[in-house]
Amino acid sequence: MMQSKLLTNSPWPLFMLFVAVGWYGLLQQHTTTSSSVHAHTASNIFLMWMLMTLVMMSTTAVPVLMSLRSVTNNASQQIWWAFVFGYVLIWLGFALVASSSQLAIAELNLFDSQNGLNKILSAGLLITAGLYQFSSLKQKCQSECVAPMQFFFRHWRDGVAGGFKMGLRHGVTCVGCCWALMLLAFVGGLSNIWFMVLSAAVMAIEKFPVIGRRITLPLGVLIIIWGVAVLASLFAGGDIAQSHIHL
């Protein structure tokens, strides 16, 4: 009886159900639609980015949501859900920008046959994403992601409206931390579901309090090496490096 009441008073079962349904929907989106980015409609592209962004970033948001739940443990769930709504709203804006970018890139015929950017753009995006791992903005945003209690201490707002405002602020912080890694979907292949799973796992680990900071810089080095290898393959005129991950 006590366990049943605990589950009723917890937002986690419903939240995890939403995330699971989102991953299922994303998988269905990839298996039932055309594999060509040129064949997708604008609505399908936005839906794909919306699902991809929300399920990946909801997965990485678990540490901050756990901290918020511990702070509001005896309070209404409304504050918690208001925070989630604000957070989701920011990432929906990102999905809109990303899907619009995909449409523009497809219009310019800059995708290859495997639904990734051509090698020159892939190398540029990889090197940019790798260098961003070393930037002060990345470090600042990540510091609030790996220490959620400090985030709430600095930016706490009372009530449902306060929860929504905190969700918006943390969403902006999260975008600042992860936008470059998210855009690597253009390189890994927009139809590669396993690349998205791997990316979500990496971004989630980056937000772990203990080990998050330890992988950021090595990850940046690896991404830069990947970009340089893609660039080198162009000048070598061979297949020294592939610009996609096949899992």
- The one-letter amino acid code at 150 reads Q
Task: Say what the pLDDT of residue 6 is.
Answer: 41
Task: Say what the pLDDT of residue 71 is.
Answer: 87
User: Where is pLDDT greater, at 59 or 96?
Assistant: 96
Q: Which residues contact 46 (CB under 8 A, 6 or more apart)?
A: 95, 96, 99
Supply the pTM of this predicted model: 0.86
What three-state secondary structure class fits 233?
Answer: helix
Percent of the chain with pLDDT over 90: 47
Give mean pLDDT, residues 33-41.
Answer: 57
What sign does the dihedral 110-180-94-195 (CA atoms) show? positive
Confidence of residue 116 (pLDDT cuts 50, 70, 90): low
Using an 8 Å Cβ cutoff, are 119 and 233 in contact?
Answer: yes
CA pair distance 185, 193, nearest whole angstrom: 10
Task: Say what the pLDDT of residue 188 is.
Answer: 81
Task: Say what the pLDDT of residue 212 is.
Answer: 82
Give mean pLDDT, residues 37-62.
Answer: 82
Q: Provide the terminal-to-terminal Cα distance of the chain, rounded to the nearest Å.
A: 45
CA atoms within 13 A on the CB side of 222: 7
Q: What is the dihedral of CA 115, 49, 141, 200, to 10 degrees?
A: -70
pLDDT above 70 (res 115) = no
One DSSP character per residue, 15-41 reads HHHHHHHHHHHHHHHHHHS-S-TTT--
Using an 8 Å Cβ cutoff, are 96 and 54 in contact?
Answer: no
191-239 tens-digit pLDDT: 678 888 888 889 989 988 778 888 999 999 999 999 999 999 887 765 4
